[in-house]
Structure 1
Amino acid sequence: MSGTALIYDEEMSRYQLLWDDPVCAIEIPERLTRSYEAVKSAGLEKRCVPVSVREGTEEEILLYHSKEYLEQVKQTPSMSVEELKTFTQQFGDVYFHPVRNKKQKPPGHHSQRSAANGFCVFNNVAIAALYAKKHYNLNRVLIVDWDVHHGQGVQYCFEEDPSVLYFSWHRYEHKSFWPNLDESDYNTVGKGKGTGFNINVPWNKVGMTNSDYLSVFFHVLLPAAYEFDPELVLVSAGFDSAIGDPEGHMCATPEIFGHLTHLLMSLARGKLCVVLEGGYNLTSLTQSVCQTMHSLLGDPTPSLSGIGSPCPESQILEPSTKRCRVENTAEENKEEENTEKEKEEKTEEKPEDIKWPEPLPRPAPPVQTVVTSSTELESLPKGCQMLGKIPQKCIEEAEKIRLAGQSRASVMQAVIGLLLPLAYEFSPDLVLQVLTSSSGLEMPVWAQVSSLLQGLAQGRTLALLQGCDKDMVGGTCSSLSGSPAPILGPLGHPVDKDVEFIEKQRQRLQKKWGLLRNSFSESGTKNQDG
């Protein structure tokens, strides 16, 4: 049985706006009901572990929210419509309904300690992180917010807390986009002990694509996440950052969220909780929800076409938990000008008029893993089958692939910053992994690499191992079968000479492979491409 739970309750959709408010009119129960219906139609619900829904306790809500605010909200079920309207006016862009205030509905990331805000009453993700820290003794929680709006409520909650790494990308447009805050910009990195544990990627234009989202994951989020080594990953999954959304005006297709989910599942041994936030185009919303669910269930990720150079607004400086910013350079490469013009023309359309192909069906259950080995294995991981022994000559003729550096941090930097961008842009039909006993790679690192590469070629992988022990063969089989990748521990900084080598390779290759491009190197030196 799958280890993925789906939590939904009909009462979450029993709310409606009882007065005229054009701003709040897009927050409708159909966002939940249509998403749930799409998940059921795709056959995903029956593959999930059933989990009963319960009401949150006051003790849990008070982990973040003030007692005074909770007492105010508790009075709303008995209020008249006029009283509700008056009560609502003290907050920003939110409304209350008298019959639905006990169960949390999405979204929640704008809600603050003593204030509702931006369609959000209770901050579900912040409460979840605090609950996990308190009751499960977790020391490191990663929150990834891919909603198109900045989750300032979550940021405020953890800005002084080094045990929570908060990452958010969001429309900003030089503070002209809601919530119009200085602290939504790149230079807000946390306070006190939490300095360096808040990462904002503010988009200063619309029309971001799959390439832009992948670029930020490879060059900003994943390096920081692997250095941080979370024990739990929470995702504020706002699908208003998908194509066609009237709030987001972005061009990223629903399939990309399946890939982003897959990349995050290599962290924290797969302990990943995805919580719905925004998403106001019901077509792109439901498609994106299903793509995310497929990945959570371990289905092979779909192929992505057209991956290439990100736009300047998604290029970065120093991707680490200590220093991270978005470089909004005015200079653009000439070869990108046509692409940028096409993107601008597309984003001038009304979001509801933009058309995109419906995602292709994703195979389920996941593809079978077949093992042929010269090593005698006592047992195989669940989902694997033995198919004879492999001739040694097949391995001996394979080209050796060496990653720069031998430390875990160096290897993972090479994988995340070089290998994955190259591979995603190349879009292979088959991934060939070659490992020899002389490579010096540890099994946990190799298993992580194998897991990350499963996002390519719809999971079609051929792994060739020579002279490797049973642990390495078994770990490879487990990874290819979809088992959670082992944790690596906090990585620290890569070896200096490896950083230099990786950077030289990136600069050498970036003219051909656009997804490698940053505006600046990690040492602060400007790339030769600008």
Structure 2
Amino acid sequence: MAMASGTALIYDEEMTSHKLLWDDPICDIEVPERLSASYEQLQFYHLVERCVHVPAREGTEEEILLVHSSEHLEIAKSTQTMDEEELKRVSGNYDAFFFHPNTYRCARLAVGATLQLVDSVMLGKVCNGMALVRPPGHHSQRNAANGFCLFNNVAIAAEYAKLKYSLQRILIVDWDVHHGQGTQYIFEEDPSVLYFSWHRYEHQEFWPSLKESDYDAVGLGKGKGYNINLPWNKVGMGNSDYLAAFFHVLLPMAFEFDPELVLVSSGYDSGIGDPEGQMNATPEVFAHLTHLLMQLANGKLCVILEGGYHLKSLSESVCMTVKALLRDPIPQVTGEMAPSLSAIESIQNVRAAHKPYWKWLMYEDTSFLHNLSTESHLPKKTNTNPSTDHEDKITNNNEAAKIERFLELHMRNILFPVPPIRTATTQSKASAYLLPAPVCVVKEMDKNEVEALASDFYADLVKEDKTLHSLGSMLAILDKILKKEVCNGITDSPTASASVGVALRYSVHFGFQRVLCVFVGDMQIVPNTQDGKVLVINICEKEQSGTMSSKHFISLNWKEDADRSDFFSAVLGFILPVAYSYQPDLIVIAVGPNRSIGISGISLLFGLLQGLAESRILAVIEDTDLNLIQNVAKALAGASVSHSGAYVPPTQEKVHKIKILKDRLQQDWKMLQCSVKDGISSN
């Protein structure tokens, strides 16, 4: 079957007709403009015309009954003919919900749109997609509307996909700022659905204020271990907290689970400026989270809108998500790359709670933290004086306007033109017919050009002519990447070490301040990393003499068995956190002699690291294995790389290896931090 490509976008203006008809200060933020503003922003960035338009349809009663009771369906149905008084009375039976005469129809469209997206992805008509729907779904339960939600769109989609496509493993990622307790209740005994939710919790002070939203709610019966709750006990969580949660909790579980489909309950109230979440994550982080999830399930990813109540923050975040789905280069994530103490505490507790259920955690030393940071236990100030409500509204409006201005500037700073061509190569052994399109073939430099361009960089590195010749190919491609004429490129080189040495020097000379080099195999020439402009991670079978790991030269000794891929744990738990801490402007990934990692491990490295450095990656391959070259080229061109064979958890010895490196380096590269006992709390 050919690789599915394309991104579906589902939007139906009719879903804006559901609206609040009376005065209710709790519900008045769930406005129709949430959809229309998001869609307009997608149009503004010309993203709509790049997506595959898929029409919404109404979900059938049969589909709704996959999750909900017939009583619940009948009540919802009966509201279509009610007058305002009756609607108000029925709405009053639920926690934070409102009915409008058209709510039932909108909710059915929301269900149907979600299922249309699942069908498009599962039938290979598109690779992934987003459904902009209202009302949202993740709070609604079998028998009740709750928290703006009438039918649980994502839960229905999971049951539908299991039934129609015989799926056995579905991952639901809920990054809305509220706990999707509805989804949790529906699947808590079901091991075929792995449900992950992070949410503002503040030690049960924040709505829905349930004991079962805490980290120790891990599922019931057969579903134990398949319900992951990550409670945020403070507001103000930012980009690095969200990424740390992915690296140290969600992604390793997801890789071990190996889902066949990923559904996102995509609430953007976890973004900056939202009155509900009060978090600090900026829109581009959602592109990174999306990109990371695209490495699972062969890229089968369905993103379904949930919350999000600051219209500017919501609509920019929706656009960032769609840009990532379209495989555009992703902007660098902003802010200091260090998770907060409160986030690390929550991450540590989730890992400890799930240790009995997950093999990748088996040898990790996890322990619970019960004396969580005390300042968050101070009693909340409750507002008992109604006359100050009005003042609150005014300050909130000023705050919202301030965030609006901030985002205007922020988005202007981080959007960048997409290079016209994604991947470059030269006419060499890995000739164009092997590679998937969209590959641009560039002319390699001849010997004189190379000497003119680079003689001062390589005199000591290049001893013979054949190396000089291979530099012509590498430099031609690197030059195009540095000038932003192409996004990334692939070159084969008989002497990877020398080529990489030249590439690193040339990039720094060109003006790049931070170049990350990941070298798989034995490095014969160890580059100078003294000035911090180059960070080398060398993945090799055994430590090379005289290369003790330091801040900017990290030796990671790892040998994969031929048929088992355990490298994912090193990539997620170590390489990605270091790379995100460093925030490189350019990445060089090289495969040299004696590689100790299989093709699927190498492809994974390419797939995941593309979220960094605005996808500027130079691949240097010494190995002439055509399968390897094809896989790397596919990953660079943006195809989802299917991994061969299941991911297996690492051995005790390997877990220990990573732990030693983490202990030594986590003060330098703070995204490595995932537990408090490692002396972080003293900072």
TM-score (norm 1): 0.91
1:346-378 per-position Cα deviation (integer Å, ceiling 9, x unaligned): x9x945544344323243477420123753444
SS at structure 2 position matched to 1:75: helix
Match of 1:384 among 416, 439, 443: 439
2:613 corresponds to: 457
Match of 2:626 among 458, 467, 470: 470
Whether the aligned pair in 2 keeps the contact of 1:404 and 1:411 (CA below 8 Å) is no
- Residue 190 of structure 1, CA deviation: 0.3
Match of 2:660 among 469, 493, 504: 504
Residues 278-293 of structure 1 mapped to structure 2, 5 A cutoff: 278-293=307-322
- Residue 488 of structure 1, CA deviation: 5.1
Matching of residue 406 in structure 1 with residue 562 in structure 2 = no
- Residue 184 of structure 1, CA deviation: 0.2
Residues 87-486 of structure 1 mapped to structure 2, 5 A cutoff: 87-102=90-105, 103-104=109-110, 105-315=134-344, 316-317=347-348, 318=351, 322=357, 350=399, 353-354=402-403, 355-356=406-407, 357-359=409-411, 360-364=414-418, 367-372=421-426, 374-377=428-431, 378-387=433-442, 390-391=470-471, 392=493, 395-397=496-498, 398=500, 400=523, 401-402=538-539, 403-407=556-560, 410-486=566-642
> What letter corresponds to residue 245 of structure 2 in structure 1?
V
Match of 1:66 among 64, 69, 75: 69
Matching of residue 5 in structure 1 with residue 18 in structure 2 = no
What is the rounded CA distance, in whole Å, between the counterparts of 2:427 and 2:216 in structure 1?
Answer: 52
Whether the aligned pair in 2 keeps the contact of 1:437 and 1:468 (CA below 8 Å) is no
Match of 1:24 among 24, 27, 37: 27
- Residue 308 of structure 1, CA deviation: 2.2
1:50 corresponds to: 53
Identify if the C-alpha distance between structure 1 residues 128 and 388 changes in structure 2 by more than 3 Å, giving closer, same or farther.
same
> What letter corresponds to residue 375 of structure 1 in structure 2?
K
Task: Report the more deviating stretch, 354-363 or 323-332.
Answer: 323-332
> What letter corresponds to residue 194 of structure 1 in structure 2?
G
Whether the aligned pair in 2 keeps the contact of 1:186 and 1:199 (CA below 8 Å) is yes
Match of 2:36 among 33, 49, 72: 33
Identify if the C-alpha distance between structure 1 residues 412 and 404 changes in structure 2 by more than 3 Å, giving closer, same or farther.
farther
What is the rounded CA distance, in whole Å, between the counterparts of 1:127 and 1:366 in structure 2?
Answer: 40
- Residue 300 of structure 1, CA deviation: 0.4
TM-score (norm 2): 0.71
What is the rounded CA distance, in whole Å, between the counterparts of 2:60 and 2:637 in structure 1?
Answer: 39
Structure number having the greater helix percentage = 2
1:336 corresponds to: none
Match of 2:678 among 522, 527, 530: 527
> What letter corresponds to residue 406 of structure 1 in structure 2?
K
- What percent of counterpart residues are identical? 50
SS at structure 1 position matched to 2:309: coil
> What letter corresponds to residue 358 of structure 1 in structure 2?
H
Identify if the C-alpha distance between structure 1 residues 38 and 236 changes in structure 2 by more than 3 Å, giving closer, same or farther.
same
Identify if the C-alpha distance between structure 1 residues 168 and 509 changes in structure 2 by more than 3 Å, giving closer, same or farther.
same
SS at structure 2 position matched to 1:385: strand
SS at structure 1 position matched to 2:678: coil
SS at structure 1 position matched to 2:264: strand
**Which stretches in structure 2 are left out of the alignment for 5+ residues?**
111-133, 359-365, 375-395, 445-469, 472-492, 501-518, 524-537, 540-555
> What letter corresponds to residue 430 of structure 1 in structure 2?
L
What is the rounded CA distance, in whole Å, between the counterparts of 1:490 and 1:331 in structure 2?
Answer: 39
Task: Report the more deviating stretch, 493-502 or 359-368.
Answer: 359-368
SS at structure 2 position matched to 1:273: strand
- Residue 393 of structure 1, CA deviation: 5.8
What is the rounded CA distance, in whole Å, between the counterparts of 2:289 and 2:199 in structure 1?
Answer: 16
Whether the aligned pair in 2 keeps the contact of 1:313 and 1:327 (CA below 8 Å) is no
What is the rounded CA distance, in whole Å, between the counterparts of 1:85 and 1:503 in structure 2?
Answer: 57
2:127 corresponds to: none
- Residue 112 of structure 1, CA deviation: 0.3
2:643 corresponds to: 487
Aligned length: 510
- Residue 303 of structure 1, CA deviation: 1.1
Identify if the C-alpha distance between structure 1 residues 326 and 56 changes in structure 2 by more than 3 Å, giving closer, same or farther.
farther
What is the rounded CA distance, in whole Å, between the counterparts of 1:291 and 1:331 in structure 2?
Answer: 33
1:273-296 per-position Cα deviation (integer Å, ceiling 9, x unaligned): 011111100010111011011000
- Residue 409 of structure 1, CA deviation: 5.2
What is the rounded CA distance, in whole Å, between the counterparts of 2:306 and 2:70 in structure 1?
Answer: 24
- Residue 245 of structure 1, CA deviation: 0.5
